[in-house]
Amino acid sequence: MFKIAKYIILDIIRSKVLIAYTLLLATICTVIFLSDSDVIKGLVSITTIVMIIVPLVSIIYATTYYFNAAEFTELLVSQPIKRRDILLGEYLGISSSILGAFVLGVCLPVALFALSATGITLMVAGGLVTLSFTSLAFWASTKTRDKSKGIGLALMIWFYAAIIYDALVLLFLFTFSDYPLEKAMIVLTALNPVDLARIMILLKLDISALMGYTGALYRQFFGSGTGIAFSVSMLFIWSVLPVLLALKIFSKKDL
């Protein structure tokens, strides 16, 4: 498993796509911090990037690489290697590469310019979002044989999590505004890794005061120790569960 991950990491480094992605993130984050002396504004801007660009690149790159490495996967399957080790090795190699790009491109500038509780929360949340969408990419890739359908499914997952989901939540709030929705909102938030990460960061930025009743609710639960543990645990589940489902599909899949 670890040898497979090693070969994949070396192959990804040679392709230089993630290196360009790392440099792009690092440049954007550095320019944001250097252009404004207000660190909080810089963190808000970087949060927007982390919640949009990072999930998109993670899920599309992982899906594309999985399909491009189909011949390599078939070769490994023909060897006396467990399918579980093959898929987990590929996931470990791809996810660690994308996570490394995030660490160098975002975490390093944040640590240099805005090392604080908020900065650390942004780094942790962004890292877990990266792993979550890489995991979702593996589920989307094993779900279908066709590369175009796999990439299309991956794009739909990102579009749903980053844009459509918030619109559906707002519609839900408007429709059932006469009912107590405290617990329902917590459950709905847990169903989207992007929302979980965004709320973790916004509460640390103390912007929840601008969110009215909803912000007060989020601060009451997610601002507590229990809420933080819940958020991190749910993001961890989002990082693990899809790849476990992908493993189940891959173990029975006829390649």
What's the chain's Rg over C-alpha atoms?
Answer: 19
Q: How far is CA 106 from CA 17, 98, 194, in A?
A: 17, 12, 17
Distance of CA 226 to the CA centre of its chain: 22
Q: Whole-angstrom Cα distance, residue 160 to residue 182? A: 23
Beta-strand runs (E) in 99-181: none
Contact 71, 169 (CB under 8 A): no
Summarised one tens digit per residue, pLDDT across range 41-77 is 888 888 888 888 999 999 999 999 989 888 888 888 8
Residue by residue, pLDDT tens for the chain (255 residues) are: 778 888 888 888 887 888 899 999 999 999 988 887 778 888 888 888 888 899 999 999 999 998 988 888 888 888 888 888 888 889 999 999 999 999 999 999 999 888 888 888 899 999 999 999 999 999 998 988 888 888 999 999 999 888 888 788 778 777 776 776 667 777 888 888 988 888 888 777 765 444 444 455 566 666 666 777 888 888 999 999 999 999 988 887 766
pLDDT in tens, 124-155: 999 999 999 999 999 998 988 888 888 999 99
Among positive and negative, which fits the CA dihedral 156, 161, 164, 168? positive
**Which residue carries 């559906």 as its tokens?**
168
CB 142 within 8 A of CB 249: yes
Cβ–Cβ under 8 Å, residues 138 and 43:
no
Please tell me the distance from the alpha carbon of residue 60 to that of residue 190, in angstroms, as a whole number: 23
Of 198, 131, 136, 189, the C-alpha closest to 165 is 189
CA separation (Å) from 138 to 1, 153, 202?
16, 11, 29
Q: Is the dihedral of CA 193, 118, 130, 127 positive or negative?
A: negative
How far apart, in whole angstroms, are the C-alpha atoms of residue 42 and residue 32?
6
